Structure 1
Amino acid sequence: MQWKDVKARLLAAGSARLTGEPADTFIARSAAGPGAGGKGSVFFAMGGHRVKFALDPASGIEIAHRGNGVADLYFEGQIFPGRLLEPGFHCPDQAFITVTGSCIFRCRYCNVPGIGGRRKTIEEIMDMVESVRHRIHAISITSGVLSSIGEEEAYVLEVVKHLTFFGLPIGVSIYPTEKTPDRLHQLGVAEVKFNLEAATPELFERMCPELDYDRLWRVLDRSVELFGRGRVFSNVIIGLGETDEDLEACIRTLTGYGVIPVLRPLNPVAEFSGTTRPSADRLKKAFTIHSRALADAGLDTRQALTMCTNCAGCDLVPGRDE
């Protein structure tokens, strides 16, 4: 059985219950992204592969922790021996930090506005990175929007200026102004991720009516000019109502620009609470489309230094989940 087939079914389920020995050091908590505001999550690894689970005591998937990270995954009548990965922040091997845990925008699939998290100080962020410096290879920064897009960008730029002290690759994913790519490039940022989220402009307008779809495309195009092909990423959520044809068209447009798509299964929160996650078959079909598009464009996910494509816990990633 291929890993991608197992992972597709695990991602379709999305959660696991954690049993056995205490595992607090292996539990990650998120202030943004699919797991924001939840009970925490764990990363389970088999060999060089990994998958992230939201923790849910009612889940049909069990991870039995035997101690010191050694764990067994019980799924569909099979036992998969592996290990839990200790997160830096948010994910293993990186300090992936949310600067502002609140947002003035209310995209229909996102629960961050309802959480109303605070903004971290620069000193706090520096201390966080220092505390995990010995076990990370990259720093990744994301953020909500506290008061305005421009004000958030200015604050994140100050954060990044300080983080260059650590000499690690830095990835940044924020909602951009037209000048965000230039300003981040001037600071020496390695990679950027600006998220389309929806596969079509019509879906984007329904999901994020306060945001500008055309601006995101302009920013992605400029980012590739500055950072290079394969150093720019964009989330596209699977399960917002797009067809497979819509998804393929969006993927191929992104890869044609030199952008690596990050195909994120819908997490049923906010206005999508109570809906089902995309099926394993749908995720595998998207994986096949994604793989072909990346190959045709000469893009390699294995070269990613930071953020989601480097982690590959939440998504099926061609090149990393073969």
Structure 2
Amino acid sequence: MEWVRLKARLLEAGSVRLSGEPADEYVSRSAAGPSAGTSGSLFFSPVTGRRVRAGIDEKCSIEVVHRGGGEADLFIDDDVVSGRLEPAALHCPRQAYITVSGTCIFRCRYCPVPSLPGRRKEIAEIVRMIESVADRIDAIAITSGVASSIEEEEAYVLEVVAALRSFELPIGVSIYPCPETPARLHALGVAEVKFNIEAATPELFSEMCPGLSWEGVWEALSSSVALFGRGRVFSNVIVGLGETNKDLERIMGDLAAIGVVPVLRPLTPAASLADMPRPSADRLLRLCEVHKKILRRAGLDPCRALTMCAACTGCDLVPGRDT
């Protein structure tokens, strides 16, 4: 099966059944986002430079059989694909991707974090975490919920970033922004930022992210491009919230036009959207073709990403990496 179609099928399914030899060292668990609180996930790679992340579900019809030492076979539909399980350094391969505050005062409808017993990590704890994987990472990525207020969270994340500069690795940051967040992160030497617009329309954003500002995120994205440069600013757009493909084409075009790389993130049904379907493989493939054309027209290349989701590629179809 062609890689892009195989990956789309796995993203549609969202999970695999894991069997064979013990594979604990290859299982990653999330403290933020829709996968928080689940039984974990794995990264499967058929060839170097391509990977897909899938949740682990013993009831899934798609199976990954670990043969030992990371060697694995993927049984999907009528195909068998040989590859490797990639160990996650922290959350994903080759990166220390750390959630600072695993709790949030906001209640985005797709996110289970507010209902989980999360906590804020101490700065010294974060430094120790990165030290423990420093020999197998190329970048640091920081994300966070909002523990008490947007302003207080930004201030704390800035302290975290300042403490991590000594590692001399590219740092990417994805938090909910205040008006001056881009300038403050840039002043600390952050390489890339990701401020998530999340939904394809302002109406859907208001419905899915009550209490947050669509305009505020757009302003942060726009000001970030002037600081970090075209192609160094990213924004997640969730596929499957009720938008049309035309809505997604429009929002991708609007983001790319100002120099922001859109990241199309298939919905992981969770929280109050737990009964929603995941987007189909066919839809993801059609959108990927549109995504590729929009990025090419804007002169944006996700393959240049140093940090965060666009560098990992496990959860999304990424033009240039998967196509």
Same fold (TM over 0.5): yes
Aligned to 1:247: 248
Q: Is 1:43–1:85's contact at 8 Å kept on the other side of the alignment?
A: yes
Tell me, yes or no, if structure 1 residue 11 matches structure 2 residue 14: no
The normalised TM-score by structure 2 is 0.99
Aligned to 1:81: 82
Aligned to 2:193: 192
For 1:313, the aligned partner's letter is G
Aligned to 1:286: 287
Q: Is 2:34–2:113's contact at 8 Å kept on the other side of the alignment?
A: no
Aligned to 1:44: 44
Aligned to 1:25: 25
Aligned to 1:127: 128
Measure, in 2, the Cα distance between the counterparts of 1:243 and 1:286. 11
Measure, in 2, the Cα distance between the counterparts of 1:256 and 1:281. 26
Measure, in 2, the Cα distance between the counterparts of 1:162 and 1:55. 34
Q: Is 1:143–1:173's contact at 8 Å kept on the other side of the alignment?
A: yes
Q: Is 2:45–2:83's contact at 8 Å kept on the other side of the alignment?
A: yes
The normalised TM-score by structure 1 is 0.99
How far does the alpha carbon of each residue in 1:156-187 deviate from its partner, in whole angstroms, 9 at most, with x for none?
00000000010000000000000000000000
Return the offset for 1:276. Answer: 1.2
Measure, in 2, the Cα distance between the counterparts of 1:66 and 1:2. 23
Aligned positions of 1:153-168 closer than 5 A: 153-168=154-169
For 1:20, the aligned partner's letter is G
Aligned to 1:146: 147
Measure, in 2, the Cα distance between the counterparts of 1:114 and 1:54. 20
How far does the alpha carbon of each residue in 1:196-241 deviate from its partner, in whole angstroms, 9 at most, with x for none?
0000000001111200000111100000000000000000000001
Aligned to 2:60: 59
Return the offset for 1:116. Answer: 3.1
How far does the alpha carbon of each residue in 1:273-315 deviate from its partner, in whole angstroms, 9 at most, with x for none?
1221000011011101110000000000110000000000000
How far does the alpha carbon of each residue in 1:106-156 deviate from its partner, in whole angstroms, 9 at most, with x for none?
011111111130000001100000000000000000000000000000000
Measure, in 1, the Cα distance between the counterparts of 2:261 and 2:97. 19
Return the offset for 1:33. Answer: 2.3
Aligned positions of 1:165-314 closer than 5 A: 165-314=166-315
Measure, in 2, the Cα distance between the counterparts of 1:229 and 1:173. 17
Q: Is 1:173–1:192's contact at 8 Å kept on the other side of the alignment?
A: yes
How far does the alpha carbon of each residue in 1:64-102 deviate from its partner, in whole angstroms, 9 at most, with x for none?
001110000000121100000010111000000000000
For 1:8, the aligned partner's letter is A
| Pairs aligned (count) | 322
Measure, in 1, the Cα distance between the counterparts of 2:142 and 2:131. 15
Q: Is 1:103–1:116's contact at 8 Å kept on the other side of the alignment?
A: no
Unaligned 5+ segments in structure 1 are none
Measure, in 2, the Cα distance between the counterparts of 1:172 and 1:164. 13
For 1:184, the aligned partner's letter is L
Task: Give SS of 2:236's match.
Answer: strand
Measure, in 2, the Cα distance between the counterparts of 1:143 and 1:299. 26
The percentage of counterpart residues that share the same residue type is: 61
User: Which has the higher mean CA deviation after the structures are superposed, 30-39 or 276-285?
Assistant: 30-39
Unaligned 5+ segments in structure 2 are none
Tell me, yes or no, if structure 1 residue 92 matches structure 2 residue 89: no
Measure, in 2, the Cα distance between the counterparts of 1:98 and 1:116. 14
What is the alpha-carbon root mean square deviation over aligned residues?
A: 0.7
Measure, in 1, the Cα distance between the counterparts of 2:135 and 2:239. 35
Measure, in 2, the Cα distance between the counterparts of 1:274 and 1:203. 17
Q: Is 1:93–1:137's contact at 8 Å kept on the other side of the alignment?
A: yes
For 2:100, the aligned partner's letter is V
Measure, in 2, the Cα distance between the counterparts of 1:68 and 1:134. 19
Measure, in 1, the Cα distance between the counterparts of 2:172 and 2:36. 19
Task: Give SS of 1:255's match.
Answer: helix
